[in-house]
């Protein structure tokens, strides 16, 4: 069930809500300092997904990624637990891919916990494929392996915009 979602650049004022989501989603969460650095880093892009509630607009999810020459590296996508399975993460991924394409990136890459079936499914739905494994990548908490996933952004963009079909 999709809901109305507004995607916009993350601001410092968003950090309290973002940190609450971060802490509820990841065993080793990023600190305020890490997010602040990401907001200032020139290659870093940070988005929030806002929904309208009876209390005004609230952050339902966020994303962090880097645009480096010819590539986008997805670092962090999270959605509030009570807002999952409503299309929010898919909208964040779509915005990342459009932004990456606009900025000239041809490839996207990410690491995801082997056990994170929901995220793996989201990425596969968006054209990412598993290209490798980083053993013990999450060594600071669970020592879990990470799957390395890649996507061809030009192909993703063409398919989503009905070019070449």
Which residues are part of the catalytic machinery? Answer: 111, 123
Phi and psi for 26 in degrees, rounded to 5? Answer: -125, 140
Q: How many Å apart are CA 74 and CA 112, to the nearest integer?
A: 10
Q: How many Å apart are CA 54 and CA 33, to the nearest integer?
A: 31
Task: Identify the CA nearest to 150 among candidates 84, 97, 104.
Answer: 97
Q: How many Å apart are CA 67 and CA 160, to the nearest integer?
A: 20
One-character DSSP codes across 27-74: SSPPPHHHHHHHHH-TTEEEEEEEEEETTEEEEEEEEEEEEETTEEEE
């Amino acid at each position: 069930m999709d809901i109305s979602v507004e995607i916009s650049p993350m601001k410092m004022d968003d950090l309290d809500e973002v940190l609450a989501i971060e802490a509820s989603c990841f065993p080793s969460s990023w600190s305020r300092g890490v997010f602040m650095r990401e907001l200032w880093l020139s290659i870093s892009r940070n988005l929030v997904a806002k929904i309208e509630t009876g209390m005004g607009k609230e952050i339902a999810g966020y994303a962090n990624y880097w645009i480096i020459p010819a590539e986008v590296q997805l670092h962090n996508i999270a959605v509030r637990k009570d807002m999952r399975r409503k299309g929010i993460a898919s909208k964040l991924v779509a915005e990342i891919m459009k932004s990456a394409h606009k900025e000239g990136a041809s490839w996207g890459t990410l690491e995801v916990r082997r056990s994170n079936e929901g995220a793996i499914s989201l990425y596969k739905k968006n054209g990412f494929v598993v290209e490798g494994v980083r053993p013990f990548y999450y060594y600071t908490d669970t020592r879990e392996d990470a799957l390395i996933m890649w996507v061809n952004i030009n192909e993703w963009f063409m398919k989503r915009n009905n070019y070449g079909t």
